[in-house]
Amino acid sequence: MITSNIQVLLAEDDLQMGFIIKDNLEEEGFEVINCPDGETAWEQFQRKTPHICLLDVNMPGRDGFSLAKKIRQRNDVVPIVFLTAKSMEDDKLKGFETGADDYVTKPFSMKELISRMNVFLRRNKLLMPATPPHYNIGTLQFFPLENRLVKKEEEIMLTQKETNLLHFFCEHANKVLRREDILTYVWGKNDYFLGRSMDVYVTKLRKLLKTEEGVYIETIPQAGYRMVVH
């Protein structure tokens, strides 16, 4: 995946934490605008218009909640992920009410943070492969960047979740995929309730593929799924 043109606005008043996150993201190819407080972050957002925002909740001057509110007044598309030591339910609800897309509680691993970021970047189609792919699945043609399946003259439009899930299966056709790996890639985290959602989406994909001879999604007990393509 290409990340070198993706700008990340990071607002973190813990300078050491900010540098650690910045260094790790830059190692992955992201461009990071590192801000030590909410006011600086707001100024940078207006100047740069980044592709994704990582906001600490507790910051001097302007906290993450009020910053998210200002960002949403200007831009209702850019993903906002809160980084915070708080784990109270009320704080999470307040964060989502201000327009946040996700909430990562400290301490977190960089692998977890990046996978959660990638969920929203894929949603906004900012993570693009070097060569835009299409896949042949039986008689179907799958165009993941366009969220569509084509069979002869029929065109089926997919939701973004359906697209991301089918894309992951196509990338690993005939391989057993662990539930936790699917959840991390498509939903950004391994969670029991999201696992129930994943099962629903797998059922939807099975219905779309049921007309294709030699193509099916197999449940692997105590492991996960495998998309079989003969």
Domains and CATH numbers, the chain: 7-123 (3.40.50.2300), 135-229 (1.10.10.10)
Query: What is the Cα–Cα distance from 174 to 135, expressed in whole angstroms?
Result: 14
Q: In terms of pLDDT, which residue wins out, 129 or 27?
A: 27
Q: In terms of pLDDT, which residue wins out, 21 or 101?
A: 21
pLDDT at 75: 85
Q: Where are the alpha helices (DSSP H) in 86-128?
A: 89-97, 110-123
Instruction: Work out the average pLDDT over 147-165.
Output: 88
In the chain, which ranges are E strands?
A: 7-11, 31-35, 52-56, 80-84, 102-105, 135-137, 140-143, 148-151, 154-157, 177-178, 215-220, 224-229
Beta strands 154-157; 148-151: pairing state = antiparallel
pTM recorded for the entire structure: 0.61
151 pLDDT tier (thresholds 50, 70, 90): confident
pLDDT in tens, 64-96: 889 999 998 888 888 999 988 766 666 666 767
Whether residue 52 is predicted with pLDDT greater than 90 in this model: the reply is yes
pLDDT in tens, 170-228: 989 999 999 988 988 888 777 787 888 899 999 999 999 998 999 999 999 989 999 99
Query: What is the Cα–Cα distance from 81 to 104, expressed in whole angstroms?
Result: 7
As a whole-number percent, the residues of the chain with pLDDT over 90 amount to: 46
Q: Pick the closest to residue 45 from 93, 84, 14, 79 (CA basis).
A: 79
Range of lowest pLDDT (53-57, 62-66, 119-123): 119-123
4 pLDDT tier (thresholds 50, 70, 90): low
- Looking at residue 138, the DSSP 8-state letter turns out to be T
Whether residue 19 is predicted with pLDDT greater than 90 in this model: the reply is yes
Asked if 204 and 217 touch (Cβ cutoff 8 Å), the reply is no
133 pLDDT tier (thresholds 50, 70, 90): confident
Q: Which residues contact 195 (CB under 8 A, 6 or more apart)?
A: 179, 183
Measured CA distances, 83 to 80, 119, 206, 219 (Å) = 10, 16, 37, 35
Instruction: Work out the average pLDDT over 51-58.
Output: 91
